[in-house]
Structure 1
Amino acid sequence: MSLNLRRLTLPLIAGLGLLGSQFAAAEEEIDTLRFGIISTEASQNQEPLWRPFLDDMAESLGVEVEPFFANDYAAVIQAMRFDKIDLAWYGNKSAMEAVDRAGGEIFAQTVPENGEPGYWSLLIVHQDSPLESVEDVLANASELTFGNGDPNSTSGFLVPSYYVFAQNGVVASEIFKRTLNSNHETNALSVANRQVDVATFNTESMERLEMAHPDKAEQLKVIWQSPLIPSDPLVWREGLSEPMKTRLRDFILSYGETEEQREKIAPLQWAHFSASDNDQLLPIRQLELFKQRASIAGDDSLDAEERERLLAELDAQLDDLDERLKAREAADAEQAEAGVTTAMAQ
């Protein structure tokens, strides 16, 4: 190739490369942000609760914001996996599935308007039920109909699966006369209407039920409450463009600063949002591994050597999670102390 031809070709190649990158950037820009919303209750009930917040998001970001409702949590996880949604509100268990299997990344966490650092899983029965405790439920399980939560629900499934059932050496699907899986609202109404004997629920949904259906809430009796569950995360797909991530993060983390904004998310039982990341899932990952460990330890079909090998692997993973969780707690404590020191200095 002659020198003159090379001088002409190189700028042309560079120009084509620049043009290609511009096309790629243009393809990355979106005019509609698709927001996934897990099915804690019927979508026709959820849509009006979310609409004011989503409208503010659309106005701030300069794009349409389209809610995505589905009949179960798995559909929202799958939608993120196949890039059908750009971000979603999940519970911690479903967020873990989205992070591990759908290219999701936690970037924020809801802050409840009641000021609590999280919420609690519940077992509920009808107010007139003779059942008063987990022990009563387990003793009479073969005669009871159980309303379990969505398999990807933290408070409706994962937490009670471990604390109520695994720790007592039983599996819910095996001990009850009949087991049904439903969302929180359906479980509560089914108990109130005497269609199931006992069901999973949570404190956030209880507060919503007391507002929406106070007569039904009065028919419920709580017989068990879990340890604290971290507040729900917001998750975006990792492939979302960096400019959009920046704009979205700025909007979410500043939302709730005005009284008008707080009023718009009050029906969702939130006051504002805080920054978060995937480490929020560390306690949930521990629960999942504890549940697996309990299952393997009680599996008589495994020979002793295989059982010990699997348990050792799980114990190593649990030790690693424990170290990571301690490091995070220490960092959070140090940050909080630094904040107090700064405030006192001012």
Structure 2
Amino acid sequence: MIKKLIAAAAFGLGMAGAFAQDTLNMGLISTESSQNLKADWQPLIDDLSKQTGLKVNAFFAPDYAGIIEGMRFNKVQLGWFGNKSAMEAVDRANGEVFAQKVNADGTLGYYSYLIVNRESPLQTLDDVLKNAKSLSFGNGEPNSTSGYLVPGFYVFAQNKIDAKTAFRITRSANHEANALAVANKQVDVATNNSENLEKIKERFPEKYKDIRVIWTSPLIPLDPLVMRKDLPEATKTKIRNFFINYAKTDPREKEIVMKISKLAGFKESSDKQLLPIRQIELFGQRNKIEADAALGDADRKAKLADIDKKLAALN
């Protein structure tokens, strides 16, 4: 509990005081440095203030959990999340998905990657798994969809491998830090995604040349936007209308969303977007239980039955 209170307090808003209906605090997940995130998102946040009449403040926590806890304690009312962190916000922080990013080409997905240095002898996922004990691994934030959950399921759980113990060294960082660590040969292999590598290509072109993708995931739904369920309905309508209509025709707005992440804008969405992510997480839990030699047969059967029940409910 103490850690959670500290995370919420990190926003500098204090634990006391009610949410003012004319003020909106928007949290942005830490996919890269706060400086870069602010440069990309601040123009949109300024437009959100102007077009809704709300005073919108942007907050950047050092990790995904800080944004989730901020929403939980009502110090953040609106946020950009990945699917995994959005699931946490919906389940634990009274959040609801209301919109989703749309790529400039109209697609609604992106990809998780495993990356290595271009000079690395590692060529395939099989090379990584066979040599894991001699490798250093840059994992993503625990609440990251593409940096942690997706590779955790497709790369590790499906191969019955525990990423925490499989490698010589495992560390966690945001996408940008992991990409630069690979480029600088500070880690042998790391998670990343197609969106972040595009930003690395733009911001660090020489470093980008030193990065090579060796594994690509199935398509992941693009990031959702989440707001607290208990916001006044009039405020929720203003927020929803702003994002759904943003960058539809205005050339300046189009430039802003392109800078954020090569977007065309946003579309309406709901908590249903999180369904495949929930399934992946449950399948991952199921694989861990099946592989846990310390569990007795009766305990294993009971745990598996509980997960199968949850999977059936999702279907």
Please give the range of the TM-score, normalised by the shorter of the 2 chains.
Answer: over 0.9
Preserved CA contact (<8 Å) 2:101 2:108: no
Instruction: Specify the SS of the correspondent of 1:179.
Output: strand
Indicate yes or no: 2:308 matched with 1:315: yes
Indicate yes or no: 2:202 matched with 1:236: no
- Counterpart CA distance in 2 for 1:208 and 1:44 is 14
Instruction: Specify the SS of the correspondent of 2:24.
Output: strand
Indicate yes or no: 2:108 matched with 1:110: no
Partner of 1:94: 85
Preserved CA contact (<8 Å) 1:105 1:277: yes
Preserved CA contact (<8 Å) 1:28 1:241: no
Displacement of 1:279: 0.8
Q: 1 or 2, which has the higher helix percentage? A: 1
The farther-off stretch of 262-271 and 160-169 is: 262-271
Partner of 2:35: 44
Counterpart among 26, 42, 45 of residue 54 in structure 1: 45
Preserved CA contact (<8 Å) 2:19 2:75: no
Displacement of 1:318: 1.3
Indicate yes or no: 2:213 matched with 1:217: no
Displacement of 1:131: 0.3
Partner of 2:254: 262
Unaligned runs of 5+ in 1: 1-26, 324-346
Deviations 1:246-269 (A, max 9, x none): 111111111111222111111112
- Counterpart CA distance in 2 for 1:167 and 1:264 is 39
Corresponding letter in the other structure for 1:318: L
Matches within 5 A, 1:4-43: 30-43=21-34
Corresponding letter in the other structure for 1:263: E
Displacement of 1:320: 2.2
Preserved CA contact (<8 Å) 2:19 2:74: no
Counterpart among 137, 140, 143 of residue 131 in structure 2: 140
Instruction: Specify the SS of the correspondent of 2:137.
Output: strand
Preserved CA contact (<8 Å) 1:32 1:65: yes
Larger Rg: 1
Displacement of 1:116: 2.4
- Counterpart CA distance in 1 for 2:309 and 2:231 is 34
Displacement of 1:30: 2.1
Counterpart among 293, 299, 312 of residue 300 in structure 1: 293
TM-score (norm 1): 0.84
Instruction: Specify the SS of the correspondent of 2:286.
Output: helix
TM-score (norm 2): 0.92
Indicate yes or no: 2:193 matched with 1:202: yes
Indicate yes or no: 2:139 matched with 1:158: no
Unaligned runs of 5+ in 2: 1-17
Partner of 1:9: none
Displacement of 1:319: 2.1
Displacement of 1:28: 6.9
Partner of 1:271: 264
Instruction: Specify the SS of the correspondent of 1:129.
Output: coil
- Counterpart CA distance in 2 for 1:314 and 1:30 is 40
Instruction: Specify the SS of the correspondent of 2:142.
Output: coil
- Counterpart CA distance in 2 for 1:62 and 1:315 is 47
C-alpha spacing 1:215/1:28, structure 2 compared with 1 (3 Å): closer
Corresponding letter in the other structure for 2:295: L
The farther-off stretch of 203-212 and 180-189 is: 203-212
Displacement of 1:306: 1.2
Deviations 1:187-238 (A, max 9, x none): 0000000000000000000111111111111100100000010010000011
* RMSD of aligned residue pairs (Cα, Å): 1.1
Identity of aligned residues (%): 51
Corresponding letter in the other structure for 1:311: L
- Counterpart CA distance in 2 for 1:294 and 1:249 is 38
Q: How many residues align?
A: 296
The farther-off stretch of 42-51 and 308-317 is: 308-317
Instruction: Specify the SS of the correspondent of 1:174.
Output: helix
- Counterpart CA distance in 2 for 1:116 and 1:31 is 34
Displacement of 1:114: 3.4
- Counterpart CA distance in 2 for 1:261 and 1:134 is 40
